[in-house]
Amino acid sequence: MCFSLPPPPIIEATFVKIFIPTTQETFNIVSTYIPPGSDSSFTIDIEALVQFNYSTILIGDINAKHKLWNCENHNKVGITLDRFARQLKLQVIATDHPTRYSKKGSSIIHFALARNIKYSAQIKNLYGSPQ
């Protein structure tokens, strides 16, 4: 089923709805970009996206750092997202290795948030560290 959604005001998101005929299950995959330094209102957009269907995976460039998903430190977006994920029972699925490298250091800012997904999920960094 294809349908248009109004764009979220804070984050960028591309929404795909998947139906599995053999199990009669529907779930959503949302490619997500949260701009660095976003204020806490980005959670309103995420909440709206996960309300379309109970089974949802948001994945992408989240720009949230937190020690709970193996970052060396945390930022404001990471603290807000951790608190919000706990409230909505979103599972953070992140790799053990950095997904971004810069002169300031490395971090894990590309990961997934899952809600009511019955299947095992893990993320693997295919590129490894830069040489």
User: pLDDT for 39-74, tens place per residue?
Assistant: 999 999 999 888 877 789 999 999 999 999 988 889
What's the whole-model pTM score? 0.81
Please report the pLDDT score of residue 58 as a whole number. 94
* DSSP annotation of 69: G
Q: What are phi and psi of 33, to 5 degrees?
A: -130, 120
Number of H helices, E strands in the chain: 2, 7
Superfamily of segment(s) 12-115? Endonuclease/exonuclease/phosphatase (3.60.10.10)
Q: Is 65:73 a contact under the CB 8 Å cutoff? A: yes
Tokens 């706990």 belong to residue: 86
Query: Could you state, in order of their start, the residue ranges of all structural domains in the chain?
Result: 12-115
Q: Is 51:62 a contact under the CB 8 Å cutoff? A: no
